[in-house]
Amino acid sequence: MTPGSHTITLAGAGLAGALLATLLARAGWRVEVFERRADPRAVGYEGGRSINLALAERGLHALRQAGLHEAVLAQAVMMRGRMVHFLDGRTDLQRYGRDDSEVIWSVHRGRLNLLLLDAAEAAGAKLHFNRRLDRADFDARTLRLVDDRDGTAHDAPFDAVVGADGAGSALRAAITAIEPLGDRFEPLGHGYKELEIPPAADGGFRIEPNALHIWPRGRYMCIALPNTERTFTVTLFLPSHAEGGAPGFDALPDSAAAHAMFARDFADALPLIPDFDADWAQHPVGVLGTTYLDRWRLDGRALLIGDAAHAMVPFHGQGMNCAFEDCVALARHIAQAPDFASAFVAFEAERLPNARAIQQMALENYLEMRDRVDDADYLLQRELERLLATRHPDRFVPRYSMVTFRRIPYATAFERGRIQRELLVEATRGRARLDEVDLAAADRAVLERLEPLPVEA
């Protein structure tokens, strides 16, 4: 297809929509974007989801394609590893990667969205705010858009429409009405609530800034990510329902009950949150879950990307990273295919198995973060993992690193991660210390079971 021959319409100017608009407009396509909310650059960013996010290599790479990585990193805080806060107040920094070339970045969702909107507009995309996609007539190729301020409806024609309208996608609902996509939502049964650690009296950070802090407590946990304002956003992840002595949101009717739970389980975090009661009362409990679909497209007319196609739980910090990777892949397929139908088929074939893999790894990471990071057998496996990674850097790359610092397909990371896990469990079974492990046998297993990874361009 020749850019300029068609208009590509996007629903949603969130993280994925704004980046995709930038990439497509830069490639010469006419791009129209319809966003439900008002222009955040005029009225301020309207929150809703997490305040900050962890940006990793996949997302960074996508931003590089749009020439935006430096601008984004200029307003991000580097996180070298997890700072684990034990119940007794001890802390332990567990590095994520080999050195400072393997780190993740805490970025502010609102500022990132604003930067992407500016980039999309500068590239020539036409952004229309206060235009909520309400319905789609796929035969007539028109969208019905509603301005929620006064309820007025507006119709817009389209050639091909891409739904980047998030987990509650209206485009997904519109496609499903005429062609089932096999969609199902699996709630996690755990929710989240955000609290804030303000700067210290001297204006600095109250705790180590270059880390993602975790307070693992078995069935639940808190995390904290730094912000450039020298604050931290704390997120409590907790079961929706209390069970077997473990707390749940339903057993915390007010801030006094929550305060008591924090005093018991997060004693070193509580004094860092002076506005605890107000934060607790004012911030809603967010819902978490996974959206699975068997298909993401309606021939060449409509396609879903990002959370609209594959919302996931946030425990690998990959939802946005994966959505950004979608944007680059889709722009590539559109550039290469003869028509939208072939581009959408190729995109779905490439991305759907990878989305499934990261959705699964995100679920598994919740268990790891809240329950395993302080286990003795887990720590020994991690020690051996690091050793094997240095002995076989081209073959044995920890799964977290494959997902976070590399761009190999998520499905490959998932499969290799399974083999590596088996190998670590076998090598450490019945052992308490690294010097008890049969290293020669572990080396042989690596060479036999793991092919060298391809070098990334």
Ligand X SMILES: Cc1cc2nc3c(=O)[nH]c(=O)nc-3n(C[C@H](O)[C@H](O)[C@H](O)COP(=O)(O)OP(=O)(O)OC[C@H]3O[C@@H](n4cnc5c(N)ncnc54)[C@H](O)[C@@H]3O)c2cc1C
CB of 324 to ligand X, least distance (A): 8
Cα distance between residue 24 and residue 9, in whole Å? 10
253 φ/ψ angles, rounded to the nearest 5 degrees: -70, -25
Cα distance between residue 429 and residue 439, in whole Å? 13
Over the Cα atoms of the chain, what is R_g?
Answer: 23
Residue 132 makes contact with ligand X by CB under 6 A: yes
Whose tokens are 């995309």? That residue is 125
Residue 351 makes contact with ligand X by CB under 6 A: no
Contact pick of 8, 9, 13, 276 for ligand X (by CB under 6 A): 13
Cα distance between residue 227 and residue 294, in whole Å? 37
Residue 81 makes contact with ligand X by CB under 6 A: no
Residue 190 makes contact with ligand X by CB under 6 A: no
Residue 380 makes contact with ligand X by CB under 6 A: no
CB of 392 to ligand X, least distance (A): 29
- Are 384 and 376 in contact by the 8 Å Cβ rule? The answer is no
Please choose, from the candidates 1, 2, 29, the residue with its C-alpha nearest in 3D space to the C-alpha of residue 120: 29
- Are 10 and 164 in contact by the 8 Å Cβ rule? The answer is yes
Residue 226 makes contact with ligand X by CB under 6 A: no
Q: Which stretch binds ligand X (CB under 6 A): 34-42, 356-364, 396-404, 446-454?
A: 34-42
Number of C-beta neighbours around residue 126 at 10 A:
15
Contact pick of 53, 68, 174, 423 for ligand X (by CB under 6 A): 53
Would you give the DSSP letter of residue 368?
I
Cα distance between residue 291 and residue 145, in whole Å? 24
Binding mask 401-440 for ligand X (x = CB under 6 A): ----------------------------------------
Residue 355 makes contact with ligand X by CB under 6 A: no
Contact pick of 318, 359, 381, 428 for ligand X (by CB under 6 A): 318
Give the footprint of ligand X on residues 271-300 (CB under 6 A). Answer: 286
Contact pick of 9, 14, 272, 325 for ligand X (by CB under 6 A): 14
270-300 burial: b if 16+ Cβ within 10 Å, else e: bebbeebeebbeebebeebbbbbbebbbbeb
CB of 426 to ligand X, least distance (A): 32
Please choose, from the candidates 308, 32, 7, the residue with its C-alpha nearest in 3D space to the C-alpha of residue 175: 308
Would you give the DSSP letter of residue 300?
T
Contact pick of 32, 102, 121, 165 for ligand X (by CB under 6 A): 165
Report in angstroms the alpha-carbon separations of 135 from 160, 176, 181, 182, 443.
15, 12, 17, 19, 58
Contact pick of 26, 32, 36, 301 for ligand X (by CB under 6 A): 36
Cα distance between residue 22 and residue 5, in whole Å? 17
Contact pick of 60, 77, 133, 343 for ligand X (by CB under 6 A): 133
Nearer to ligand X, 304 or 389 (CB): 304
Contact pick of 54, 84, 272, 403 for ligand X (by CB under 6 A): 54
Give the footprint of ligand X on residues 322-341 (CB under 6 A). Answer: 323
Q: Which stretch binds ligand X (CB under 6 A): 122-130, 319-327, 354-362, 443-451?
A: 319-327
Contact pick of 11, 355, 362, 402 for ligand X (by CB under 6 A): 11
Q: Which stretch binds ligand X (CB under 6 A): 46-54, 238-246, 345-353, 361-369?
A: 46-54
- Token duo for residue 409: 């397909």
Q: Which stretch binds ligand X (CB under 6 A): 114-122, 260-268, 303-311, 372-380?
A: 303-311
Judged by CB under 6 A, how many residues of this single chain contact ligand X?
A: 34
Whose tokens are 């020749």? That residue is 2
Judge residue 119's burial from the number of C-beta atoms within 10 Å of its C-beta, 0-12 exposed, 13-18 middle, 19 or more buried.
Answer: buried
Report in angstroms the alpha-carbon separations of 38 from 31, 33, 129, 132, 167.
19, 13, 5, 10, 19
Whose tokens are 């880390």? That residue is 211
Nearer to ligand X, 17 or 380 (CB): 17
CB of 400 to ligand X, least distance (A): 14
Cα distance between residue 438 and residue 443, in whole Å? 9
Residue 163 makes contact with ligand X by CB under 6 A: no
By the criterion CB under 6 A, which residues form the site for ligand X?
A: 11-17, 34-37, 49-50, 53-54, 132-133, 164-166, 170, 192, 235, 286, 306-308, 314, 317-321, 323
